[in-house]
Amino acid sequence: MSEAFEPKILGLLCSWCAYGGADTAGVSRAQYPANIRIVRVMCSGRVDPLFIARAFENGADGVLVAGCHSGDCHYISGNSYATDRFTAFSGLLDFFGIDRRRLKLAWVSASEGTRFASVVAEMTEELRALGPLRLKVQS
């Protein structure tokens, strides 16, 4: 009997907004899949593309980078940097043989617990449909 595929998602969440949104989801008992493992970062703009590459290399089926809405960044323009890095790095995913849908950028405020839950649920369903990430690593 084969078990259904459950994707592993790494969530890199901004400390000021998206992490607060995850906390609000928990406090309000919002239902969402337990497929995400969260790493709190000071700002989505500080997420190095190498973190994302390493996550895929180490078994993540998807990576969610989440931060503050435009104009609400604690560091003024961090989410703008995140958008630029996301755009540049998502273009490289094709080169690595990784479907771009495995990387998601979302804006979630600290008061948007239901939005956070919705983003995680949608990403989990999309990754289930894609199946496990199988990288061809050359030795």
Percentage of the chain beyond pLDDT 70 is 96
Higher confidence at residue 138 or residue 121?
121
Q: Dump the DSSP string for 44-57.
A: GGG--HHHHHHHHH
Q: How far apart are CA 63 and CA 115, in angstroms?
A: 17
What is the residue whose two structure tokens read 């649920």? 121
pLDDT tens column, 103-123: 999 999 999 999 999 999 999
Cβ atoms 101, 130 nearer than 8 A: yes
Q: How far apart are CA 99 and CA 130, in angstroms?
A: 9
Percentage of the chain beyond pLDDT 90 is 90
Q: Burial level of 7, CB count in 10 A (0-12/13-18/19+)?
A: buried
Q: Does residue 1 surpass a pLDDT of 50? A: no
Cα 58 to chain centroid distance, Å, stands at 15
For domain 9-130, give the CATH number: 3.40.50
pTM for the whole structure: 0.94
Q: How far apart are CA 6 and CA 61, in angstroms?
A: 9
How large is the C-alpha radius of gyration of the chain?
A: 15
- Per domain, the residue ranges of the chain are 9-130
